[in-house]
A and B are shown apart, each in its own frame.
Chain A
Amino acid sequence: MDSLPLYLLPLLPLLGFAVLMTLPRLLPGKTGGWLATGLVGAAFALAVLRYLNQGAPAHEVLWTWLPNMALNANLSVGFWLDQLSALMALIITGVGFLIHLYSISYMGHDPKFTRFFAFLNFFVAMMLILVLADSYPLMFVGWEGVGMASYLLIGFWFSGRGSGSSDAQERAASDAEAVSNSNAARKAFIMNRVGDLGFMLGMFLLFKLYGTLSIPELAERVEGAQVAQAGIELACLFLLVGAVGKSGQLPLTTWLPDAMAGPTPVSALIHAATMVTAGVYLVARSHFLYDLAPNASTWVAWVGGLTALYGALSALNQSDIKKILAYSTVSQLGYMFMAVGLHAYSAGVFHLLTHAFFKALLFLAAGAVIHALHDEQDVRRMGGLHQFMPFTHLVSVAGVLAIAGIPVWSGFFSKDAILAAAYEQNLALYLIGLGVALLTAFYMGRWYFLVWRGAYRGHGQPHEADTLTKIPLGILAALATLAGFLNIPTFLGGGHAFDTYLGRAVPLHAHEIAASTEWRLTVLAVLAGVLGLGWAFLAHRRNALASGPLGELSRNSLYLDALYDGVVGHPSRAVAGGLDTLDRATDDALSAVGRNASAPGGLFTLWQSGFVRAYAVSMLLGTAGIIGYWALKTIGSGT
């Protein structure tokens, strides 16, 4: 079965996108959604087949751009399947399939139902191109493609959801929502441009240094190449800027929480499980470069550590059910960056995997809650929902325990691996990581107690999610609970199965700390999780959860947005205002010149009689004049 070519993986959802975009009328009702879901399911089956028949890394070149040119850029368009990209393809198509399935129910009443699935399919196709690309330029194609999909889906409700309402107040609210949705989409796009510039500069520099951008070729060439150390470091830093943009790390983090303006399945798929992890993937994919660039790697780790802290602090006092999860995503992505920056690629990617499960689960559960409460997103108007939605409550518990790092849930194993790697190499980062684990457990506990426990503080009767919603929730809950067993560390009697698997694609850095130390680290990490949850529980008992710690500082996410607005936004607006005034003045001056010039111009318009035959006569006379002059001159010179 390994004759099934790799290009089918992105091609299937891309076909779905093409059909859904061009022929939406052929697919009435929910057929478009089912078609899109089926195609992603087929891609998942394909990914599983390729995974099962995986031997040596497969390199399937489709064609070459600019062949035999003087540049000899050798820009092959091909796909590269090794353990890392196979794993990513499985996550994307697997989680993507579940979220497609969920969306059929969640977006069921949306007037742009088919369009939504077209965009989702487009996203999956582009994400697969990103992870399967065999060269940086092709990866960049996917990179931009997912950015585009992200833009389209964040701004999916760009005209608001109640623009057709007959109630004037509802229409006004819808218009306000429309503006904020469009702004969120634009913000994501613009902040990603900054990162993409870094990615491009990184590619240019790599090409200059090594003369190729093909990833397998590059991996071979870096070994013996005589290249200035500063060049590699700089290239890695440029790539880091790209990764930071896509993954919402500091300092380009502010777009990710705003991206929650999109529909909840989008938040789950793009802004939690897959797209935002592309930065982590980029660093892991470029491990052969980062292994040679210790300083750039340290930068990666510190960006990750600080972002983890930033996200956790910002999540403490949010009141939007999705914003809490969004800042949590920022924070968890920080963990992954920390891991790959410390060359613990396997730990980082493992956390990517478990995070994809439990964060997608939490978002989908939050979506079910939002639906049940008729688009209520404020946790202060929730509470006690476990009585109304027992199933969703159950899966949410699994998600919260997983992210809080409680054994045996998956987050426990993956977070532990990262913390162990940090302890080994950088004590400061380890302490930050441990503190973030405590904060994570607290804000997720706060999320849990505010939404599910206590008395119901809202209006209206919440209802349990329907079956179609429950299936993905159940599967993801099982995965979030059990995925940790893929990588049981040695000191717990396991065999590091996941590390062994991934170790064939990325280098493993052997753990050299004693089992007794590992035990102590694990106990500390679990203690942090339990303490965090306990802290949240105590605050819940005192009814003090509605306003979390740090007050306004946390609610405004440490004033980073305000800072950017002051440093970039405000001066830009001032300059734009000044230029606008200047432009208008210039325009007025030129108009005045024009008005005055039209008066003498009027004289010449008399020439234009509007009679075609008069024009013909003048043409005739003119031609005759020219020919006569020329003839006379010839005769004159001839004699």
Chain B
Amino acid sequence: MVPTTSYLALSGVLFALGMVGVLTRRTAIMVFLSVELMLNAANLALVAFARSWGDPTGQTAVFIVMTLAAAEVAIGLAIIVAIFRKRETTNVDDLAALKG
């Protein structure tokens, strides 16, 4: 059986990858993708802990996170498409209308 620590390590790597992606990528789509990666890293950690403790609560939480993520993707992509139609760019550095 794969030890829980391995799962957690993979989860940590995925989370770090996602984090780097959010911080370095400029295209909104890629930022969005990286956020999803981080989300799924957290999911993995949750499932791993659930298996380790023999408690289904963690798995239930993952199901809820997945359905929520599906809805969130739909809205997020719609927002990006709308932004692109209006601004003709998805470069997050150019989207600085709220700059103080």
> Which residues from chain A sit less than 8 Å from chain B, CB to CB?
602, 604-613, 616-617, 620
User: Given A617-B23, A620-B19, A612–B95 Cβ distance below 8 Å?
Assistant: yes
Kindly provide the distance from the CB of B30 to the nearest chain A CB, expressed in whole angstroms: 12
> Which residues from chain B sit less than 8 Å from chain A, CB to CB?
19, 22-24, 26, 31, 92-93, 95-100
Selected A-B contacts with CB under 8 Å, 26 pairs: A602-B100, A604-B100, A605-B100, A606-B100, A607-B100, A608-B98, A608-B99, A608-B100, A609-B96, A609-B100, A610-B95, A610-B96, A610-B97, A610-B99, A610-B100, A611-B92, A611-B96, A612-B93, A612-B95, A613-B22, A613-B24, A613-B92, A616-B22, A616-B23, A617-B23, A620-B23
Kindly provide the distance from the CB of A591 to the nearest chain B CB, expressed in whole angstroms: 22
Kindly provide the distance from the CB of B22 to the nearest chain A CB, expressed in whole angstroms: 5
Chain A residue, CB-CB nearest to B24 = A613
Residues in A neighbouring B22, C-beta threshold 8 A = 613, 616
Residues in A neighbouring B31, C-beta threshold 8 A = 612
Residues in B neighbouring A602, C-beta threshold 8 A = 100
Kindly provide the distance from the CB of A400 to the nearest chain B CB, expressed in whole angstroms: 72
Chain B residue, CB-CB nearest to A605 = B100
CA distance A608 to B23 in the complex (A): 17
Residues in B neighbouring A605, C-beta threshold 8 A = 100
Kindly provide the distance from the CB of A50 to the nearest chain B CB, expressed in whole angstroms: 57
CA distance A300 to B37 in the complex (A): 81
Q: For the A-B complex with A610-B97, A611-B96 known, give 18 more contacts whose Cβ atoms are closer than 8 Å.
A: A606-B100, A607-B100, A608-B98, A608-B100, A609-B99, A609-B100, A610-B95, A610-B96, A610-B98, A610-B99, A610-B100, A612-B92, A613-B24, A613-B26, A613-B92, A613-B93, A616-B23, A620-B23
Chain A residue, CB-CB nearest to B95 = A612
Residues in B neighbouring A608, C-beta threshold 8 A = 98-100
Kindly provide the distance from the CB of B33 to the nearest chain A CB, expressed in whole angstroms: 14
Kindly provide the distance from the CB of B76 to the nearest chain A CB, expressed in whole angstroms: 13
Residues in B neighbouring A609, C-beta threshold 8 A = 96, 99-100
Chain A residue, CB-CB nearest to B26 = A613
Chain B residue, CB-CB nearest to A616 = B22
CA distance A610 to B96 in the complex (A): 4
Chain A residue, CB-CB nearest to B100 = A605
Kindly provide the distance from the CB of B72 to the nearest chain A CB, expressed in whole angstroms: 17
Residues in A neighbouring B92, C-beta threshold 8 A = 611-613
Residues in B neighbouring A617, C-beta threshold 8 A = 23
Residues in B neighbouring A612, C-beta threshold 8 A = 31, 92-93, 95
Task: Tell which of B23, B98, B99 touches A613, judged by Cβ atoms closer than 8 Å.
Answer: B23
Complex A-B, nearest 6 residue pairs according to Cβ-Cβ distance, in ascending order: A605-B100, A610-B99, A610-B96, A608-B100, A612-B92, A616-B22
CA distance A439 to B31 in the complex (A): 89
CA distance A604 to B100 in the complex (A): 8
Kindly provide the distance from the CB of A412 to the nearest chain B CB, expressed in whole angstroms: 77
CA distance A167 to B31 in the complex (A): 64
CA distance A516 to B95 in the complex (A): 99
CA distance A620 to B35 in the complex (A): 12
Chain B residue, CB-CB nearest to A617 = B23
Chain B residue, CB-CB nearest to A607 = B100
CA distance A610 to B91 in the complex (A): 12
CA distance A522 to B34 in the complex (A): 100
Chain A residue, CB-CB nearest to B35 = A616
CA distance A635 to B23 in the complex (A): 30
Residues in A neighbouring B24, C-beta threshold 8 A = 613
Chain A residue, CB-CB nearest to B22 = A616
CA distance A416 to B16 in the complex (A): 100
CA distance A612 to B96 in the complex (A): 8
CA distance A611 to B19 in the complex (A): 16
Residues in A neighbouring B98, C-beta threshold 8 A = 608, 610
Residues in A neighbouring B19, C-beta threshold 8 A = 620
Kindly provide the distance from the CB of A620 to the nearest chain B CB, expressed in whole angstroms: 7
CA distance A613 to B24 in the complex (A): 8
CA distance A245 to B50 in the complex (A): 73
A611, B100: Cβ atoms closer than 8 Å: no
CA distance A607 to B93 in the complex (A): 16
User: Could you say which of A605, A606, A609, A612 has the most chain B C-beta atoms within 10 Å of its C-beta?
Assistant: A612
CA distance A383 to B81 in the complex (A): 75
Residues in B neighbouring A611, C-beta threshold 8 A = 92-93, 96
CA distance A605 to B98 in the complex (A): 10
CA distance A608 to B99 in the complex (A): 5
CA distance A612 to B99 in the complex (A): 10
CA distance A592 to B22 in the complex (A): 42
Residues in A neighbouring B26, C-beta threshold 8 A = 613
CA distance A616 to B35 in the complex (A): 11
Residues in A neighbouring B23, C-beta threshold 8 A = 613, 616-617, 620
Kindly provide the distance from the CB of A615 to the nearest chain B CB, expressed in whole angstroms: 10
CA distance A612 to B25 in the complex (A): 11
Kindly provide the distance from the CB of B11 to the nearest chain A CB, expressed in whole angstroms: 15
Residues in B neighbouring A616, C-beta threshold 8 A = 22-23
Chain B residue, CB-CB nearest to A603 = B100
Kindly provide the distance from the CB of A112 to the nearest chain B CB, expressed in whole angstroms: 40
Kindly provide the distance from the CB of B32 to the nearest chain A CB, expressed in whole angstroms: 11
CA distance A103 to B62 in the complex (A): 70
Chain B residue, CB-CB nearest to A606 = B100
Chain A residue, CB-CB nearest to B93 = A611
CA distance A634 to B47 in the complex (A): 23
Residues in A neighbouring B100, C-beta threshold 8 A = 602, 604-610
Kindly provide the distance from the CB of B7 to the nearest chain A CB, expressed in whole angstroms: 19
Kindly provide the distance from the CB of A630 to the nearest chain B CB, expressed in whole angstroms: 16
CA distance A602 to B99 in the complex (A): 12
Chain B residue, CB-CB nearest to A609 = B99
Kindly provide the distance from the CB of A436 to the nearest chain B CB, expressed in whole angstroms: 72
Kindly provide the distance from the CB of A604 to the nearest chain B CB, expressed in whole angstroms: 8
Chain A residue, CB-CB nearest to B97 = A610
Kindly provide the distance from the CB of A323 to the nearest chain B CB, expressed in whole angstroms: 60
CA distance A606 to B92 in the complex (A): 19
Kindly provide the distance from the CB of A613 to the nearest chain B CB, expressed in whole angstroms: 6
Kindly provide the distance from the CB of A515 to the nearest chain B CB, expressed in whole angstroms: 88
CA distance A609 to B93 in the complex (A): 10
Residues in B neighbouring A613, C-beta threshold 8 A = 22-24, 26, 92-93
